[in-house]
Chains A and B, each alone.
Chain A
């Protein structure tokens, strides 16, 4: 079922988020939560809508600033105040909304915020298109609409643009927020294969999902959140689907049962 190879958790974790708190208008969206992630590992983040998993991950990707707590990347304490900071630490995010500018083409979206420029400082659209063609040939060989705005693309094509953006810039830490929510079975299978491939490259992945099946299949560990608090982190090989459900719905750790 789950990944066959045992993850080595003796070294320093890729990411270690310790005691993270953030509140919005008195609501503790994330309340003293700690999670970590090792190279080549996929950690699932589970929980109901509003459990705080997306918020936690937006702190790591730089979209929100935390109220308290520390983030360590490769054992070093880092400050992440903006998406730019996160990217500087090779943290890439694939958002549930995909975060694409619909009016721009695939290459412009892929390089948004990190455009290739010519020697005189003008954006080099041709070079960016050439690079986009290269990476898309790897991720989605049927992708041909390089000149169209991404609003003209299908859901799967848009998803592949968002994934290409995260993969192209040599991510060490990848955050995937519901990567398969809008996809058909065939495309979901492709995402699964991609995750296995990235794992093999030693990339650490936080996978946010509603789908327990996905988590059981793709993840090595699962961290479950409820009402902003961490219910617990478990090795998926040690638990059943029902154990995870119990954690999500009742907030009950399987060891307490």
Chain B
């Protein structure tokens, strides 16, 4: 089998890529950076700077690029971001999940009932185990609901659109029925930390520990990659390119740590804290850093785990294979039906996790929690480059997509656009993003 006409003549063994034109082209080739990723980061930077400048010029105060706003932005993105990671798998395998918002509400109510109505009577109010049991119950609830959806889609062959459209109504209604429409509060105080209050953040020292681990991991990944290529005799990236990637990623991690540490606790929280600990507040106030919020760290952990799952395990490989060609996947011996059940169960699990964050942030559980979240989650995945045709999508893309959506909303609130304009803009951006993505794909073919 030869096909000489298509290939450029190259020496056997380690192929050298054809020389690219221009400095930028050479740079991209050497670093092998994903141009889509760069494009999305560029878009995000544009949105951030745009809102900041608008605020600075029109309102006389740029409120966007402040530690306070960016910290809040990260917390607000967590819930949608966690679910978007699961939605990538669902959409990559050519399905859709319209029910995540309702399932989130249902899980939140189940967790609320568990920790406010049941557990205090069994183990006592504010017992240490309450938050753990509540979260586990939420995760199990979400997983079971998701697996049930997956079962109906795979084995009863009802389209995912219909199953989850039904789920959208069923679970919202079920959330109401469980608690007869009541708002359940207050939730356990340890549970509340999951939502990212000032106390629900790891502080300056904790953030530096996270940051140093992050830098160590980034650097070791880059050099492990070099070693691996050497072992198999593949072409190496130039040393400067690898060093550049390690340096930029490391700097980004350190920058994020410095940012979250630059946002101090509000004065009221500091006063309460000082009174409780018996500290006298010095002249000029006490500067206590927030550090990374716990929900952001949860999102980070989910992102890392899901990225590993998608790129380094058979499960992830099969997800992409099913999305690319379901028939070929089945002929390769992959149990595509069971895979569908597992994918939706995972979506449900992440929805349960997201419900913990959302409910903790609110400090209560209401049956309306998560309303319209399904649309934001799907939009985040799609803006992040997940193709509804299946087979294409990344975890980091979905999280960036969630950040883009949240940035738009937060930015418009800051500069005083009302809710109606926000909807118009977010909706338009979704359509525009998919159009640009299509152009990109066509151009890169």
Measured CA separation A142–B6 after assembly (Å): 9
Interface check B127, CB cutoff 8 A: no
Interface check A112, CB cutoff 8 A: yes
Interface check B203, CB cutoff 8 A: no
A144 touches B391 (CB 8 A): no
Interface check B330, CB cutoff 8 A: yes
- Given A104-B321, A115-B314, is A84 in contact with B327 using a C-beta cutoff of 8 Å? no
B325 touches A102 (CB 8 A): yes
Point out the residues of chain B lying under 8 angstroms from A108, CB to CB: 317, 320-321
A112 touches B321 (CB 8 A): yes
Which residues 81-103 in A have Cβ within 8 Å of B in the complex? 82-84, 87, 93, 95, 97-103
Chain A: interface size category: 35 or more
B333 touches A101 (CB 8 A): no
Point out the residues of chain A lying under 8 angstroms from B67, CB to CB: none
A186 touches B314 (CB 8 A): no
Point out the residues of chain B lying under 8 angstroms from A98, CB to CB: 328
A83 touches B333 (CB 8 A): yes
A103 touches B3 (CB 8 A): no
- Given A99-B328, A100-B328, A101-B328, is A156 in contact with B232 using a C-beta cutoff of 8 Å? no
Interface check A7, CB cutoff 8 A: no
Binary contact track A107-131/B, C-beta < 8 Å → 1, others 0: 0100011110100011100110110
From B3, B231, B331, B334, A156 is in contact (CB under 8 Å) with: B3
Interface check B198, CB cutoff 8 A: no
Point out the residues of chain A lying under 8 angstroms from B316, CB to CB: 123
- Given A104-B321, A123-B313, A160-B1, is A141 in contact with B328 using a C-beta cutoff of 8 Å? no
Interface check B283, CB cutoff 8 A: no
Which residues 186-204 in B have Cβ within 8 Å of A in the complex? none
B6 touches A99 (CB 8 A): no
Point out the residues of chain A lying under 8 angstroms from B6, CB to CB: 153-154, 157
Which residues 137-184 in A have Cβ within 8 Å of B in the complex? 137, 139-145, 152-154, 156-157, 159-160, 163
Least CB separation from B14: chain A residue = A133
Least CB separation from B11: chain A residue = A144
Least CB separation from A86: chain B residue = B333
A126 touches B330 (CB 8 A): no
- Given A112-B332, A115-B314, A163-B1, is A101 in contact with B12 using a C-beta cutoff of 8 Å? no
Report A119 CB to chain B, min CB distance, Å: 13
B317 touches A123 (CB 8 A): yes
Interface check A200, CB cutoff 8 A: no
Binary contact track B205-238/A, C-beta < 8 Å → 1, others 0: 0000000000000000000000011011110000
A101 touches B324 (CB 8 A): yes
B2 touches A141 (CB 8 A): yes
Measured CA separation A131–B293 after assembly (Å): 45
Point out the residues of chain B lying under 8 angstroms from A61, CB to CB: 331
- Given A123-B317, A141-B12, A160-B1, is A103 in contact with B391 using a C-beta cutoff of 8 Å? yes
Report A193 CB to chain B, min CB distance, Å: 10
Which residues 1-46 in B have Cβ within 8 Å of A in the complex? 1-8, 10, 12, 15
Point out the residues of chain A lying under 8 angstroms from B4, CB to CB: 142
Interface check A190, CB cutoff 8 A: yes
Measured CA separation A122–B329 after assembly (Å): 19
Which residues 191-248 in A have Cβ within 8 Å of B in the complex? 191, 194
Interface centre among B3, B7, B391 (most CB of A within 10 A): B3
Interface check A63, CB cutoff 8 A: yes
Least CB separation from A157: chain B residue = B3
Least CB separation from A186: chain B residue = B2
B328 touches A112 (CB 8 A): yes
Interface check A70, CB cutoff 8 A: no
Point out the residues of chain B lying under 8 angstroms from A36, CB to CB: none
From A82, A104, A121, A157, B324 is in contact (CB under 8 Å) with: A104
B323 touches A103 (CB 8 A): yes
B1 touches A191 (CB 8 A): yes
B333 touches A97 (CB 8 A): no
Point out the residues of chain B lying under 8 angstroms from A154, CB to CB: 3, 5-6
Least CB separation from A165: chain B residue = B332
**22 pairs, A vs B, C-beta closer than 8 Å:** A63-B330, A63-B331, A97-B327, A100-B325, A101-B323, A103-B392, A104-B321, A104-B324, A112-B328, A113-B332, A113-B333, A122-B313, A123-B313, A140-B1, A142-B2, A153-B6, A159-B1, A160-B1, A160-B3, A187-B2, A190-B1, A191-B1
Q: A127-B232, A156-B1 are in contact. List 13 more A-B contacts (CB 8 A).
A: A99-B332, A101-B324, A101-B329, A102-B391, A104-B317, A112-B328, A113-B333, A114-B333, A140-B2, A143-B7, A153-B6, A157-B3, A190-B2
Smallest CB-CB A-B distances: 5 pairs: A101-B324, A103-B324, A160-B1, A84-B333, A113-B332
